[in-house]
Amino acid sequence: MSLARSLLLWGSQSSWLEAQMRRRAFARRAVRRFMPGEELEAALAASADLVERGTAGTVLTQLGENLAQRSEADAVRRHYLDVLDRIATRALPTQISVKLTQLGLDFDVDDCVSALESLAARAAPGLVWVDMEDSRYTGATLDVFRRVRARHANVGLCLQAYLRRTPDDLASLLPLSPAIRIVKGAYAEPPEQAFARKRDTDAAYLAIASRLIAHAAATGAPAPVLGTHDGRLIAELQRRAAAAGLPRSACEVHMLYGIRVADQERLTRAGVAVRVLISYGTAWFRWYMRRLAERPANVWFVLRSAF
């Protein structure tokens, strides 16, 4: 792991740095590169604009994690139910993506399951994505996902390519033929849990996505969703999907709002289904620092905003 990435991930855990960033106008300006605003209405307006410009759809997520009280988790559940109602009212091709620690995973697993089930029921037939958090939560997230997936087919799961355990997790999930979004991974993990070198993560990503492509071609299961901005990976996996007989739109690509916009537009023109992940909310600090750690060159954007 590069020194810059390590420092940014370390900084994401600093309460002092968070307090400093929240007080700085330049930080709020810089964050706007990656999110249209803190309010849900800004995310919905951005979704409508992107769809009008040809994007296949969007995925909304309210920022925040590791909630400590049942009342907070209940509020998040009610918020997402309202989000789903507002998506339906506007007839937007928009999905939601949730972290299970937002729904009480830390203190009541059964309540977390119940909350996720309520979101899946309200969203049907639309998809509800379950985000993967740091490796402490991987096993528990898989358990909750399996429990909900047994009753609701419209839940999808994020898997992180840099975790060494992910190929085994994928093997256990394949009989369910679920929707899977593959990302590289953005948390600080010990070397026994995750690959430290980018080339190892890239190789793992390619292998995992290729396995899902083969499964989709053989069984009719959903093709993998490619959650990455890596153009070379996307091109290679699109080539493998075509060779397996899948249509060009089968492997949906998910990219973050404000990142590689020209690539998003180019892929859309080429017939690739692109969804844009839009985050919103006041709890942006940790998320923002992890975005910088994924591409430390973005720090220069922050510095330009500061001066």
Predicted confidence (pLDDT) per residue in 84-131, tens digit: 999 999 999 999 999 999 999 999 999 999 999 999 999 999 999 999
Q: How many domains, in total, are found in the chain?
A: 1
Kindly indicate the confidence band of residue 288, based on its pLDDT and cuts at 50, 70 and 90: low
Q: How many CB atoms lie within 10 A of CB 288?
A: 24
What is the reported pLDDT for 187?
A: 82
> Does residue 243 lie in a domain region?
yes
CA distance 272 to 277: 16
CB burial readout 250-273, b (16+ within 10 A) else e? bbbbbbbbbbeeebbeebbeeebb
> Does residue 220 lie in a domain region?
yes
Token pair recorded at residue 34: 């990656």
Are 220 and 245 in contact by the 8 Å Cβ rule? The answer is no
At 209 the three-state DSSP class reads helix
At 114 the three-state DSSP class reads helix
The answer on pLDDT for 199 being more than 80 is: yes
The one catalytic residue in 5, 77, 122, 131 is 131
Kindly indicate the confidence band of residue 306, based on its pLDDT and cuts at 50, 70 and 90: very low
What is the reported pLDDT for 285?
A: 63
The answer on pLDDT for 277 being more than 60 is: yes
Could you list the residue range(s) of the whole structural domain that residue 202 is in? 36-283
CA distance 129 to 61: 9
DSSP result, 161-196: TTBTTHHHHHHHHGGG--EEEEE---S---TTTB--
The answer on pLDDT for 47 being more than 60 is: yes
The answer on pLDDT for 292 being more than 80 is: no
Q: Does residue 125 have a cis bond before it (omega within 30 degrees)? A: yes
> Does residue 305 lie in a domain region?
no
What is the reported pLDDT for 23?
A: 63
> Does residue 297 lie in a domain region?
no
- Look at strands 94-98 and 128-130 and give their pairing: parallel
> Does residue 20 lie in a domain region?
no
Q: How far is CA 134 from the centre of its chain?
A: 13
The one catalytic residue in 181, 275, 286, 291 is 181
Active site residue 131: yes
> Does residue 215 lie in a domain region?
yes
CA distance 254 to 89: 24
CA nearest neighbour of 251 among 279, 293, 222:
222
CATH number for the domain including 164? 3.20.20.220
Average pLDDT, the chain: 88
> Does residue 72 lie in a domain region?
yes
> Does residue 304 lie in a domain region?
no
